[in-house]
Chains A and B, each alone.
Chain A
Amino acid sequence: MIDAKKVRLMTKIAVYEEGIGREDLAINKNTRRTYMTVQMAKSFLCLSLAAFLLILLYSFRYFSSGSGTGVTADPRQILIRALAFYLAVLAVGMIMCWRYYRKRYNDMLSRMKQYDRNLSRLSRHIAETGKD
């Protein structure tokens, strides 16, 4: 006879472990502080690189080539604008990344809690029924 309750619990646990649980278990190895520090460091690098690429693209406006001339402007002005853009991208980007990764960690914690609950329910059920 198939134990329906056991099958249901084991299916829930297996679906979680095979799916999103893989990411959650990898995140859960770190404390919240470690996880957030690593992710914010990665975000800082990626945002800096993205801002640099956009500033480089924008600077082509002032590019002078053999066939034509670009727009002329004071180099100090260009530098100030580039720095202001970089700081704006960094500020907004870091805040958004911080909120995103904090939510991700909190969601992972609630899913892991449910996973642990399912595991303890399964072990209790096995102990009660005496079957494995």
Chain B
Amino acid sequence: MNNRMVRLYGLKESLTYYYKKHADIIRPILKGIISLLSLLILRQLFLYNDSRIFLWMIVVVSLIQAFVPLAFLYYTGTVLIAVQLWSVSMDITVGFLALILAGWLLFVRLDGKYACVAIITPVLFWLRMEYLIPVILGITIGYGVILPVGLGTLIYYMGLYTADASSLLMTTSGSGLGSGLQRIVGLMVMDKKLLVILISFSLVIFIADRLNRMFHESAWLFSIVIGHIALALLLLSGKYIFELDYSIWRVFLGAVLGIAICVVLWFFRGIGDVSRMERATFEDDEYIYYVKAVPKIKVPAKNVTVTRIEADEDEMMDDLEFEQGEDEAAEEGAAESDEDGLDEQVPEEETEEAAKEAEEKEIKAEKEEARTEERETAGTDSPEDNVSDKA
């Protein structure tokens, strides 16, 4: 491993250590920031009532959100959007709440841990980072996140079409009950881009999850690369089949950025060093085991020993005493002195500490040698030898 990689792994270890040490402080701060940004962006997406009270409420809710599970964002986001939609049309609000209730019945009821994905998805759409969603969520969470992502996509498009229809609905007093919702639903059903995105994202999440769960040491790399290629191909084929208007360069840029982010994520999760993979075969009464073990790349912590040599006030006196001692020893012929005489100046405590540190270093070096020897002997044993031994 070259120096740059070692430094990167060292940085990763120190960041992980720092996060674990201060997790009680870092996690609430992160949750508060995520909920604040999400609610502010949702407010921007559904900006039909720009009263300042909402801003203060968002700040207060984000502070509370810092100390409750992030899944609670599903409910706070729902309330914010519903309150905003009420200013446009009552039927659109009821339709939105029906959609949220359907989402709750379908997936939040089962496992509400990832319900916040339904609220974070429209936020990422608004930030033009939607192409990062499928593969990252597929490899980190799994195919159970298909429904929340689908609901989030519907919420985003509902926001877009409501923005188009809002000026008409808010000014026209004679519009009948249900006409707003009818218009929104009609537009969403006819929108081929929405259909292509829903199908592509669902397929890519599934593909990325299945590839990631493969029993192979590089399954994570396959899922990241193939997942992004599949996403680009699906979106581009949808563009040409239905003559849609999204740009090709954004799709490729999203794929490249997505691959980079996924690699960084997996780097922090822990990549195995395939070059040091070990294989073993053994059996018991019921099964024969074929085991592949890939060691994680870890950088051992550096043991830095610092020896401080400080100038003492009585250094001159010590020097004189030392010289006198030398003279006396030379006269009596019984004294033993060092070549440089430094030990007599260093206090006894420091010599004991230095001796202990030296002993610890020797013990560690011996242990590392023993480990490398074990690895070498394990590596030289072949499966045939194991089978012949058992036979």
Contact = CB atoms under 8 A, between A and B. Distances in A.
Interface of A: 46-47, 49-50, 53-54, 56-58, 60-61, 63, 65-68, 70-71, 93, 97, 100
Nearest to B110: A100
Contact of A60 (B95, B102, B109, B111): B95
A68 B179 contact: yes
Contacts of B179: 63, 65, 67-68
B192 to A, nearest CB: 15
Nearest to B106: A50
Interface stretch (B82-90, B120-128, B170-178): B170-178
B186 A61 contact: yes
Given A47-B105, A60-B95, A68-B182, 10 more contacts: A57-B95, A60-B182, A60-B186, A61-B186, A61-B189, A63-B181, A65-B179, A66-B174, A93-B106, A100-B111
Contacts of A56: 98
Nearest to A55: B102
28 contacts: A46-B105, A47-B105, A47-B106, A49-B102, A49-B105, A50-B101, A53-B101, A53-B105, A54-B99, A56-B98, A58-B185, A60-B181, A61-B182, A61-B186, A63-B181, A63-B182, A65-B176, A65-B177, A65-B178, A66-B174, A66-B176, A67-B172, A67-B174, A67-B176, A68-B176, A70-B182, A93-B106, A97-B110
Pairs A-B, 5 closest by C-beta atoms: A65-B176, A50-B105, A66-B176, A46-B105, A50-B102
Contacts of B183: 68
Contacts of B172: 67
B205 to A, nearest CB: 14
A71 to B, nearest CB: 7
Interface string B17-46: 000000000000000000000000000000
A50 B137 CA distance: 24
A60 B110 CA distance: 28
Contacts of B110: 97, 100
Contacts of A63: 178-179, 181-182
A46 B99 CA distance: 14
Residue picked from B106, B181, B183, B185, most chain A C-beta under 10 Å? B106
Contacts of A68: 176, 179, 182-183
Contacts of B103: 50
B153 to A, nearest CB: 15
Contacts of B109: 46
A23 to B, nearest CB: 13
B185 A57 contact: yes
A104 B245 CA distance: 44
A53 B98 CA distance: 6
B102 A67 contact: no
Contacts of A65: 175-179, 182
B106 A71 contact: no
A50 B107 CA distance: 10
A91 to B, nearest CB: 14
A58 B98 CA distance: 11
Contacts of A47: 105-106
Nearest to A62: B182
Nearest to B172: A67
Given A53-B98, A100-B110, A100-B111, A67 B175 contact: yes
A3 to B, nearest CB: 29
Contacts of B186: 60-61, 70-71
Interface in B92-121: 95, 98-99, 101-103, 105-106, 109-111
Nearest to A71: B186
A94 to B, nearest CB: 12
A113 B219 CA distance: 33
Contacts of B105: 46-47, 49-50, 53
B96 to A, nearest CB: 10
Most buried by B among A53, A68, A97: A53
Interface in B164-218: 172, 174-179, 181-183, 185-186, 189
Contacts of A70: 182, 186
A41 to B, nearest CB: 14
Nearest to B103: A50
Contacts of B182: 60-61, 63, 65, 68, 70
A93 B178 CA distance: 30
B175 A60 contact: no
Contacts of B175: 65, 67
A68 B98 CA distance: 23
Nearest to A89: B106
